[in-house]
């Protein structure tokens, strides 16, 4: 007896294939930046990392090469400096003879609440203008510059995808109770971070309408809190805010990023994909 086996076409799965594409990830040396790079490599995209910290990315480069048998191009770049981004764009063209098809704006200064010796430094009353300018120059101005420089090339070839990494703090304000215990000197989540992430969502929606006619989609990914060896007390308080009662693992955003970068989301534009364990649904 002969058994006829019919293989159905994998049209849906194939939409997530990024072969022959070139992706740029800013801030690719960070905790989630490295995972964004891996997600794009999983889908067979070539990847360029733009970051100011070359030595930090070097610690990941060997393991990435061993896992994927593929080189990731690193270009040292200060994304808050337009000339630096233009130079990176030109360098990319020299290497690949093309401009990027996908841009993932991930770079930001996520200042940890325990980073500063003076606990008051993070509080609005004592937040310095220099620090405000520095953190906005990376997370907001840098995102704008990269969208402007790389998005222009996408508009010329009439094809491209931009994904801006926002945060659940781009949708709600931080619950400052989880960051300290003494009201008068309590460390807090700095004002700069939620301001940047709210603004990035606004930029996303602007670009989604501005370049839609040129076949460019722009969406945002809003991750929730990621566990990164936080102390138990902080984790407990944070998890109490989350319906799933846990923080995310770094790998849990890879599929979401791939969805936004690929044709799997071909009719999605100007939206925010929130992946926060339900924190913003209360």
Looking at residue 249, its pLDDT comes to: 97
Looking at residue 179, its pLDDT comes to: 83
Cα–Cα distance, 144 to 130 (Å, whole number): 20
Contact 49, 28 (CB under 8 A): yes
Cα–Cα distance, 165 to 226 (Å, whole number): 14
Looking at residue 188, its pLDDT comes to: 85
State the number of CA atoms in the 13 A half-sphere of 271 facing the CB: 12
Q: What HEC string does 226-252 produce?
A: ECCCCCHHHHHHHHCCCCCCCCECHHH
Looking at residue 117, its pLDDT comes to: 44
Looking at residue 112, its pLDDT comes to: 61
The sheet with strand 216-223 has its strands ordered as 73-76, 46-51, 22-26, 102-105, 160-165, 216-223, 272-275
**pLDDT means per 10 residues in the chain (282 residues)?**
65 94 97 97 98 93 93 97 98 98 96 54 89 97 98 98 98 89 70 97 98 98 95 94 97 98 98 98 93
Which residues face 262 on adjacent strands? none
């Amino acid at each position: 007896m002969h058994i006829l086996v019919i293989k159905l076409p994998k049209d849906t799965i194939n939409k997530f294939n990024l072969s022959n594409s070139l992706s740029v990830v800013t801030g690719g040396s960070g905790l989630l930046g490295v995972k964004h790079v891996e997600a794009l490599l999983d889908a067979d995209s070539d990847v360029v990392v733009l970051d100011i910290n070359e030595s930090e990315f070097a610690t990941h480069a060997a393991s990435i090469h061993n896992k994927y048998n593929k080189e990731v191009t690193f270009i040292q770049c200060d994304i808050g400096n337009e000339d630096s981004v233009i130079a990176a764009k030109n360098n990319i063209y020299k290497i690949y003879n093309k401009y990027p098809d996908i841009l993932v704006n991930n770079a930001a200064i996520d200042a940890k609440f325990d980073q500063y010796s003076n606990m008051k430094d993070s509080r609005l009353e004592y937040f310095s203008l220099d620090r405000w300018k520095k953190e906005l120059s990376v997370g907001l101005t840098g995102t704008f510059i990269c969208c402007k420089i790389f998005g222009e090339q996408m508009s010329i070839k009439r094809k491209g995808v931009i994904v801006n990494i926002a945060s659940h703090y781009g949708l709600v304000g931080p619950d400052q109770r989880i960051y300290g215990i003494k009201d008068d000197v309590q460390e807090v989540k700095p004002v700069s971070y939620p301001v940047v992430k709210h603004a990035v969502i606004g930029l996303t929606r602007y670009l989604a309408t501005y370049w839609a006619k040129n076949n460019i989609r722009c969406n945002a990914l809003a991750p929730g809190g990621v566990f990164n060896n936080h102390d138990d007390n902080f984790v407990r308080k944070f998890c109490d805010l989350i319906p799933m009662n846990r923080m995310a693992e770094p790998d849990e955003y890879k599929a979401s990023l791939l969805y936004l970068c690929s044709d799997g989301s071909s009719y999605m534009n100007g939206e925010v994909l929130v992946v926060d364990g339900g924190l913003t649904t209360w």
